[in-house]
Chains A and B, each alone.
Chain A
Amino acid sequence: MSSSPLPSFNELTQKKAPVLRTGSRATQVPQTASASFTSVASLLKATSAKDLLGVDAIGSFRMEEHNGDSVEELPKLPKAKPRKPATKKVGVGEEKVAKAPRKKKDTVEGEPKKPRKPRVKVTDQAVGGNDTPKEPAPKKPRAKKVDKDANPDEGIKDKPARKPRSKKPEGESQIILAKGQITKPSSKLTSDRVDKAVKSKKLESAITDPFADPVDLGLVEAVQRRTDWTPPTATGKTTGITPISGDRLDFGSTSCGSIQSGERSKTFTDLFGSFGFSKLDNNDIGKKSLETEKPRKRKLIELVKTSVSTAAATSLKEKAPKKKARTITGLATSAYAEQEEITAKPAPLLQYFSRQTTERPTNDGFKVPPKPRSKSLVKGAKPKKGSADAPILLSPESALKQSGNQDFVFGTSSQLAREDSPRLLRDLHEAMQASNEIDEDDPFADSIHASVFANRGKTLAPANRDLWSAAARDMAGDLLEVEMVDLVDSPVATKHTIPTIMPGATKPLVNEVAEDVWYDIEELGKNMDQDLQTTKEATRRIGPVEAAIRAELLSSPASNPKSKESTPKKSKREKRDKSPSRRTKSLAKASTKAAKSKGVGMPDFSSYTTAQLAKEIASYRFKPVKSRDGMIALLEKCWEGKNRIALGALGANVLSQPPPESSKPPASNQVCAASPKRPRGRPRKESTTSSPPKGKVGRPKKSTTVEYFEMDSDTPLSQTRTPKKSKKGKEAVVEDISDSDTETRPSPPRRQASQTKTPPLPLKLSTDLEIDTSPELSPLSSRALLFMHITRAIKNAPPSKDPSKPSWHEKILLYDPIILEELAVWLNTGALEKVGWDGEVDVKEVKKWCEGRSICCLWRENLRGGARSRY
């Protein structure tokens, strides 16, 4: 279409040119000739502003409805064009009349900025035909005028005419494209139209005929163009709501007329009516209207996208709104929303659980996806996970892929993901553990007791209370129950929050899901309460995000031991919960002990050798620090900062104890075992997988815990994926590990963090530091060593036989100023090697060596770039 209109435009322009002349002249010439035109023009100006405003308003309404962007005046303009023909067609006489003045006004408005002056000029030009070329100043006016006038005087006007021509087509094209310069083209167009209308009415029929023809042609084409070029919204409207649009157009035109005639009330009513109709139509169409309304602001983008496929605008529009969610949360939730709908409907609670159980293993394997969900929803997260997972029922591979594709992390945790540091998860985990540590430490005893007295859980729990428990007022057993209530409430709150995030339709689904999950949690919580009050408390205390993370991190390891023994499923949840928590506690203790022993916590930098310190600082990418105290202080700050990231993300934790972090991993395990962390999705898996093993409460004993701990560090993921296998035993776990490694690709860091936790890294670092840095790398010691070798190399060099060519040692003894470059070259070309120093010396180091020994040294090249030739 675009191609066709362009040639037509050229033709039209030629044809129109006269018309335009007449038109332009009509406005202009008449102005000179008769005051009526001028008056009309003035009226048009005055009214046009109003009309334009009204039109804009109307357009804005329309736009809002359709496009949603008030900014898009351009579409309005094109609409205005078609409107005119429509109006002409519909209400020929009156509307035309009404339009004419309106158009005049429009022209006045549009043109006044540029055209006004030109018009005057134009009038002059019109009088003296050739004047236009002489007047260089206003290009645009010329263009119009020139074109108008140009036809007769093409030869002279061609140059200026080019510009105007281009402008005109631009104006038209702009109208069609209509995004960049709305006001100008619109004004021009309107002016042209007005002129045309005026001409048609007032001018001779001959003139009007050509106008009408070109106008009509242009309008027809414009309609097509509009369809082509106008953003999908318009098309969509036109396609789906074409009648409405037409009405609106009519209204717009009528409104214009009404303004003068004072029929605005009708117009507004009509507009509103059309509005209502449009909504109705939209409603009839279905969700389109809702979608369209919502996306309005975003229409521009959508329009661009949808414009490609104009035909299926409605369907596209519907899809588009869903796609709208471009915020992280939106993106995160969007996928779930659909899933929720699907899942929530089909899945009864029981089914849901079953699905979750089945699915969860996969999720656990792909820790990534469940985490964001869990984070966002906290307790509700579990339901979400279940819902999200349940609907699709992805194969493990596909689920892995999806999880891998989901890079986002919810809320604060996402903010935490600064660089994609592999440590992030670990840090989070550690931080959470640290925060929970206090609880955990006590829990150890508790866990032991619990393990011993598995059934007695509640009775034991109060005795073993942690600070958390004390804070929770566990002292009174009743308070614990209250906490249970809180747990229930919290998920509800999460539910509410969830719906807000999700569109209305999705909300109910979410709620259902959340409820399901919630129920699960309650059950878990009940079980937990019975067995392990402390664990519950810990979980409650932990934020949803933390819990999710912990669940992810811990679930695999903790679950493994549990999974081994028991293969219970949904029904066994209670048992599972109890057992996992206990086991987790035991595990936590063991792990904490191990971690502590390993020294995961803040290392005692003061005990490091300077070389080690230097290496540590280098690991933080800091420049070497000379003073040892400074190095230690810097390292401590670095370490704190490193830990703080995790803690800070959690939000509640103080720097707290770096060492606790090391111990924390076990704690996290406990937490994971506890319902709160897992609730979002993994916990279920864990519960499913882990719960069965716990059926036998006795396991949690220390020996088992140690094993578990080991298991945890190595093979958490495998269990989640393949709960059945995990149940089989350690062997299965090992196999699982291999699987997990391969499968887990999408989220390797997390797994590593969870599996390896802190202990491995610190150990590596320490070893590296000790081995590598101690001898050479630390700046101070290494420098001292280097200097020693330099001294040795210089002293060991044989004395010169030629007094005129003393050795370096002799030069120094003779107080000769030492040229650093030469000495460095000499040292690096064998002298140092002979002394046993493998490596080269930097000239700056040589300089420091010289200065440290009162040896007068200097650079051969001075700062001016010259080489010293004499001393």
Chain B
Amino acid sequence: MPIDRPIPPFYCCYLLRSTIRASSVYVGSTPHPVRRLRQHNGEAKGGAVRTSRPSLRPWEMACIVTGFPSHIAALQFEWAWQNPHITLHIPPESRIQHATQKRSGQPKRPRHSVTSLLSNLHLLLRVPSFSRWPLQLRFFSEDVYKAWLKWSKAAAEPIRDSIKIIQDFPPSDTASGNESDSPKRKKDVVFHGIAALKVDYFNEKPHVEKGKNIVDFEREGSCAICHSDLEHNAGIYTICSNHGCESVTHLTCLSQHFLEDEEDALVPVKGQCPTCKAEIRWIDVVKELTLRIRGQKEVEKLLKEKRVRKGKAVTASQATNIDDEDDDSDEDAREDEIDMLQEGNVGRMDADMSNTWHEIDATDDSDTDSIISNSSKAKQATSYRGIQPIALERVIEDTDWEDAEIID
């Protein structure tokens, strides 16, 4: 079955850290960090068991990796980040953490710390499997960012420069010029941190509108690159994401244009628009394209949302809380599934065991860990069974995170 939905507006893997004890960390992924953080902090149902200990709450997202082009990609990255000791995405020669102990035949996941997670994150952003993904790195904690900088200097090689690293520290408020510029949809929302993140297609709205306009009126014209006529609805065409530029090209033509210098590469990262010469990111172009060809509902909602937007946003954000719980648990379950799919060599048990519970607690014994993990596993399993069939049937109409599409 072909993929039938657009690139999600937002998906991130996050490094969760206890504000009480900095050594307790957790790695997860979510299309909706705010909701997810509330779950972790017990403000909403569905938080991870690993983060359920009251003494460690509240949690904070120290840094997040954003820009995953699909939830599968995000889950793969999350699993690799959680299991840097066994993931196949890391070539053995560059692996930092190695599987040490073996429990029940499966390599035991090493205890994570902020430093270890950052180092592995740095490594994962360099490995071939992820290096060309349109990812961004966003730090919400200054000390974590410093640790990152420190490690970046020590690392063998830098990460690809196209990976934007954004500092978004609480004290600095809306420090860096990022998407938090337009968080107005939430009235009381702070202008920094995860609350300022745009988790919907709002940023794509102009682009989507332009594309819709072009397509609806069949103004594709000819490919800006190959100059062949772009027959309406007879191909996949990209539209420049730059404001005011309406150059339309074949998808393949634009990719070749972007990849002129990279013969072997298939996935472009960014390039110059052939018409306006502005540098555009491939992900932006493609996100609009997928919305156009696959995201009929999303586009409708996005365009419709414009009118009702202010009133609806609040209600939507509030309303989603209940759904979030199910979705998150479901999300966890599916993460496992996907992880296992991706990391074919890793046993299911391990995947379940490893699933998302990364809290590192100095007081935690291996026994407690195992118990916790088991319980979480059981929980996830149940949630998986119960939810998936429903999820298969259900189409998420919910406004806020329809893009999330967590449920399979």
Contact = CB atoms under 8 A, between A and B. Distances in A.
Interface of A: 787-788, 791, 794-795, 799-806, 809-817, 847, 851-859, 862-864, 868-871
Contacts of A812: 266-267
B266 A809 contact: yes
Interface in B46-101: 69-70, 72-73, 76, 88-89
A395 B204 CA distance: 98
Contacts, number: 135
A573 to B, nearest CB: 67
A814 B1 contact: no
Nearest to A871: B3
Nearest to A812: B266
Given A858-B341, A862-B340, A863-B348, A815 B70 contact: yes
Nearest to A866: B337
Max count, chain B CB within 10 A of own CB: residue among A804, A812, A854, A858: A854
B234 interface: yes
B240 interface: no
Contacts of A814: 3, 7, 236, 251, 286, 289-290
B151 interface: no
Contact of A853 (B255, B265, B290, B348): B265
A709 to B, nearest CB: 49
Given A813-B252, A852-B128, A854-B267, A800 B341 contact: no
Given A815-B283, A870-B392, A854 B234 contact: no
B30 interface: no
Given A810-B252, A816-B3, A817-B3, A851 B129 contact: yes
Contacts of B89: 851
A868 B341 CA distance: 10
Contacts of A868: 1, 341, 408
* Complex A-B, nearest 8 residue pairs according to Cβ-Cβ distance, in ascending order: A815-B69, A854-B132, A803-B293, A817-B72, A856-B73, A851-B129, A862-B341, A816-B3
A803 B220 CA distance: 14
Given A815-B7, A853-B132, A853-B265, A803 B236 contact: yes
B268 A813 contact: yes
Nearest to B344: A859
25 contacts: A799-B250, A801-B234, A804-B2, A804-B293, A810-B252, A813-B286, A814-B3, A814-B236, A814-B286, A815-B73, A815-B283, A816-B2, A852-B128, A853-B132, A854-B128, A856-B69, A856-B73, A856-B133, A858-B76, A858-B341, A858-B342, A863-B347, A868-B341, A870-B392, A871-B72
Given A852-B128, A854-B128, A870-B1, A813 B235 contact: no
B2 to A, nearest CB: 7
A806 B236 contact: yes
A607 B251 CA distance: 45
Nearest to A850: B129
Contacts of A856: 69-70, 72-73, 76, 133
Contacts of A855: 266-267
A801 B131 CA distance: 30
Given A804-B2, A851-B128, A870-B1, 15 more contacts: A803-B293, A806-B2, A810-B236, A813-B251, A813-B267, A814-B251, A815-B69, A815-B286, A817-B70, A851-B88, A853-B267, A854-B131, A859-B341, A863-B341, A868-B408
Contacts of A854: 128-133, 267
A796 to B, nearest CB: 10
Contacts of A858: 72, 76, 338, 341-342
A817 B251 CA distance: 17
Contacts of B347: 863
Interface string B315-342: 0000000000000000000000110111
A863 B236 contact: no
Contact of A815 (B76, B129, B267, B344): B267
B172 interface: no
Contacts of A853: 128, 132, 264-267
A784 to B, nearest CB: 10
Contacts of A799: 235-236, 250-252
B222 to A, nearest CB: 15
A800 B236 contact: yes
Contacts of A810: 236, 251-252
A790 to B, nearest CB: 10
B233 interface: yes
Interface string B219-247: 00000000000000111100000000000
Contacts of B392: 869-870
Contacts of B408: 868, 870-871
B261 interface: no
Contacts of A851: 88-89, 128-129
Which one of B129, B233, B236, B250 has the highest number of Cβ atoms from chain A below 10 Å of its Cβ? B236
A719 to B, nearest CB: 58
Nearest to B252: A799
B4 interface: yes
Contacts of A863: 340-341, 344, 347-348, 351
A792 to B, nearest CB: 10
A795 B283 CA distance: 19
